[in-house]
Amino acid sequence: MSVNSESSRQLEFMEKVREHNKGRALKYCSVVFGCQMNEKDSEKLSGMLEKMGYERTESEAEADLIIYNTCTVRENADKRLYGRLGVAKQYKKDRPGLIICLCGCMMQEEHVVEKINTSYPYVDLIFGTHNIFKFSELLFTVLETGDRVIDIWEKTDEIVEDLPSRRKYPFKSGVNIMFGCDNFCSYCIVPYVRGRERSRKREDIINEIKSLASDGVVEVMLLGQNVNSYGKGLDEEISFARLLDEAANIDGIGRVRFMTSHPKDLSEELIDTIRDNPVIARHIHLPLQSGSDRLLSLMNRHYTKDDYLRLADALRTKIPDISITTDIITGFPTEEERDVEDTIDVIKKVRFDGAFTFEYSKRTGTKAASMEGQLPKETVQRYFDEVLKKVQDISKEQAKRFEGRIMEVLVEGINEKDPSMLTGRISQNNVVHFKNCGIPVGSFAKIMLDETMGFYYNGTVWGH
Q: Give pLDDT tens digits for 187-199.
A: 998 888 888 899 9
pLDDT above 60 (res 38): yes
pLDDT above 70 (res 386): yes
What average pLDDT score do residues 85-96 get?
93
d(CA 106, CA 111) in angstroms, rounded, equals 9
pLDDT band at 311 (very low <50, low <70, confident <90, very high): very high
d(CA 178, CA 172) in angstroms, rounded, equals 19
In DSSP terms, 3 is beta-bridged to none
pLDDT band at 464 (very low <50, low <70, confident <90, very high): low
d(CA 167, CA 320) in angstroms, rounded, equals 33
Task: Express each pLDDT in 117-141 by its tens digit.
Answer: 999 999 999 999 989 999 999 999 9
Q: Where are the beta strands (DSSP E) in 319-455?
A: 323-330, 354-359, 406-414, 421-426, 431-435, 444-452
Q: What is the mean pLDDT of the chain?
A: 94
What is the CATH topology of the domain spanning 3-151?
Rossmann fold (3.40.50)
Are 172-398 and 403-461 in the same CATH fold? no
Closest CA to 258 of 289, 237, 279, 238: 279
The verdict on domain 403-461 having CATH code 3.30.70.1400 is no
Instruction: Kindly report which listed range (77-81, 237-241, 418-422) carries the lowest average pLDDT score.
Output: 77-81
pLDDT above 50 (res 2): no
pLDDT of 192 reads 87
Report the CATH number of the 172-398 domain: 3.80.30.20
Percent of the chain with pLDDT over 70: 99
Q: Cα separations (Å) of 371 from 224, 286, 299, 367, 375?
A: 28, 26, 11, 7, 11
d(CA 318, CA 322) in angstroms, rounded, equals 9
pLDDT above 60 (res 383): yes
Give the SS3 label for residue 73: coil
Contact indicator for 155, 144 with CB cutoff of 8 Å: no
Q: How do the domains of the chain map onto residue ranges?
A: 3-151, 172-398, 403-461
